[in-house]
């Protein structure tokens, strides 16, 4: 993978596939947090100590020990531009925290970008695996294999009673965050979303926006993830998320059927209006773009609109982000200029 490939393609290769329930579940993700017993947590480590951690963990990739899981390349954050780091965040390949703190930080990416291994983020090691559609168990299987490879080379911080030790107490125990990104426009339109999401939080799950904790939900995209990492096994965490997500999928399908039965003309009008605006507008902010892209995605799934695919909509959700816009047009852009360029880019993609 060339140094700039991740910044040149809006969709990672894994996103081009069609996973189970992909009309509702955009992606499934597993993230595993680990730390080395021999070094302080990143926030307390000296520059020399964090450098030692980076060298030890990147050696696992450079030695070829990950080769059975694919081809990998390591990028040191200090050697990437601010724009390249921002693009990595927009593609969900690194966290905003790692992008903003590049001191001896690194990311190890697989060729198809389905595996992203962050070094010296909030924890020494964060293994992230992404799959298209509803494949949370498959993502866990891959993440667990990669975790085993690193555990052979590193002495993890582990307590017999508490489990894996992490920088943030909310990750202590298994160190696992399992999540699914879901597109739930029908539940929003039928005003059921608050009731559903309130019930989700009652069973130990969290609801966030598309960029995780603290981010706003745009385009009817919701990230559902576990909150509990201590006191449950990995299998229990995965099974609980799987069961709840399956129920949300069924509720969204029922809501879509209700819309088609009771309000098909209104929904079709909404979908086609959004398509008309996106294909003709000269100025478009990110919030409006996300909402109208959501409308078109719903129209595609309901068979109301042809000539455009969900993959194009996925591309637009990444392309319209500030970092990628500036990468595409090759220049810094003010907020107003971004709104103009965003509209231009969307028009070209749709036509």
How much is the pLDDT for 208?
A: 82
Annotated binding-site residue? 199: no
Residues 115 and 60 in one domain: yes
Based on the structure, what is the number of domains in the chain?
Answer: 2
How much is the pLDDT for 1?
A: 41
Q: Which domain holds residue 218?
A: 5-256
Residues 204 and 283 in one domain: no
Q: Which residues pair with 107 in a beta bridge?
A: 75, 118
Residues 67 and 208 in one domain: yes
Residues 80 and 207 in one domain: yes
Annotated binding-site residue? 208: yes
Residues 208 and 300 in one domain: no
CB 154 within 8 A of CB 141: no
Residues 127 and 236 in one domain: yes
Annotated binding-site residue? 210: yes
Annotated binding-site residue? 177: yes
- pTM listed for this prediction: 0.90
CATH number of the domain to which 113 belongs: 3.30.590.10
> Closest by alpha carbon to 43, among 113, 89, 136, 105?
105
Annotated binding-site residue? 243: no
Measured CA to CA, the distance from residue 239 to residue 162 in angstroms comes to: 21
How much is the pLDDT for 330?
A: 86
- Domain C-terminal end among 221, 236, 256: 256
Return the residue matching tokens 């040191």: 76
Annotated binding-site residue? 179: yes
Residues 195 and 285 in one domain: no
Measured CA to CA, the distance from residue 253 to residue 56 in angstroms comes to: 47
Annotated binding-site residue? 62: no
Sheet-wide strand order for 205-208: 72-76, 106-110, 115-119, 125-132, 25-34, 176-183, 221-226, 205-208
Return the residue matching tokens 């990750």: 171
Residues 126 and 192 in one domain: yes
How much is the pLDDT for 65?
A: 87
SS3 content of the chain, % helix, strand, coil (to 5): 50, 15, 30
The DSSP 8-state label assigned to residue 289 in this structure reads H
Torsions phi, psi of 115, nearest 5? -120, 130
Each residue's pLDDT, cut to its tens digit, for the chain (351 residues) gives 444 667 667 677 777 778 999 999 999 999 999 999 999 999 999 999 999 999 999 999 888 889 888 899 999 999 998 888 988 998 889 999 899 876 799 999 998 899 999 999 999 999 999 999 999 999 999 999 999 999 998 999 999 899 999 998 889 999 999 999 999 999 999 999 999 999 998 888 999 876 555 556 678 999 999 988 888 899 999 999 999 999 999 999 999 999 999 999 999 999 999 999 999 999 999 999 999 999 999 999 999 998 888 888 888 888 898 988 988 888 899 999 999 999 999 999 888
How much is the pLDDT for 211?
A: 52
Annotated binding-site residue? 181: yes
Residues 183 and 74 in one domain: yes
The DSSP 8-state label assigned to residue 41 in this structure reads -
How much is the pLDDT for 300?
A: 94
Measured CA to CA, the distance from residue 72 to residue 38 in angstroms comes to: 26
Annotated binding-site residue? 212: yes
How much is the pLDDT for 2?
A: 43
Residues 219 and 110 in one domain: yes
Q: Is 167 helix (H, G, I), strand (E, B) or coil?
A: coil
Measured CA to CA, the distance from residue 38 to residue 225 in angstroms comes to: 30
Annotated binding-site residue? 251: no
Residues 34 and 172 in one domain: yes
DSSP assignment of 59-94: HHHHTTTTGGG--EEEEEGGGS-HHHHHHHHHTTSS
Residues 160 and 181 in one domain: yes
- Domain C-terminal end among 221, 256, 291: 256
- Domain C-terminal end among 223, 256, 289: 256
How much is the pLDDT for 22?
A: 92
């Amino acid at each position: 993978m060339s140094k700039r490939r991740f910044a040149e393609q809006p969709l990672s290769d894994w996103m081009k596939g069609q996973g189970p329930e992909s009309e509702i579940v955009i992606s499934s993700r597993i993230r595993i947090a680990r730390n080395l017993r021999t070094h302080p947590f990143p926030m307390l480590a000296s520059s020399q100590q964090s450098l030692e951690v980076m060298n030890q963990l990147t050696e696992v990739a450079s030695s070829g020990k990950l080769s059975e899981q694919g081809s990998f390349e390591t990028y040191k954050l200090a050697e990437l531009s601010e724009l390249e780091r921002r693009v990595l965040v927009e593609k969900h390949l690194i966290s905003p925290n790692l992008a903003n703190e590049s001191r001896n930080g690194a990311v190890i990416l697989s060729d198809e970008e389905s595996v992203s291994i962050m070094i010296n983020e909030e924890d020494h090691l964060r293994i992230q695996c992404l799959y298209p559609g509803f494949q949370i168990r498959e993502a866990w299987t891959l993440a667990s294999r990669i975790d085993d490879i690193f555990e052979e080379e590193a002495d993890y911080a582990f307590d017999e009673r508490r489990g894996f030790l992490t920088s943030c107490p909310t990750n202590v125990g298994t160190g696992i965050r399992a999540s699914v990104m879901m597109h739930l426009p029908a539940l929003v339109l039928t005003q059921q979303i608050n009731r559903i999401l309130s019930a989700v939080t009652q069973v130990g799950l969290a609801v966030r926006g598309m960029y995780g904790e603290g981010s706003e939900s745009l385009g009817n995209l919701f990230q559902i993830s576990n909150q509990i990492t201590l006191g449950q096994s990995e299998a229990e965490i995965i099974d609980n998320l799987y069961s709840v997500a399956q129920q949300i999928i069924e509720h969204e399908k029922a809501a879509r059927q209700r819309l088609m039965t009771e309000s098909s003309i209104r929904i079709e009008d909404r979908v086609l209006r959004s398509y008309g605006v996106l294909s003709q507008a000269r100025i478009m902010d990110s919030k409006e773009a996300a909402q109208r892209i959501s409308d078109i995605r719903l129209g595609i799934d309901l068979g109301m609109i042809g000539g455009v695919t969900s993959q194009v909509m996925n591309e637009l959700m990444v392309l319209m982000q500030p970092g990628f816009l500036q990468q595409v047009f090759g220049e810094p852009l003010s907020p107003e200029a971004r709104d103009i360029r965003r509209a231009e880019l969307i028009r070209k993609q749709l036509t």
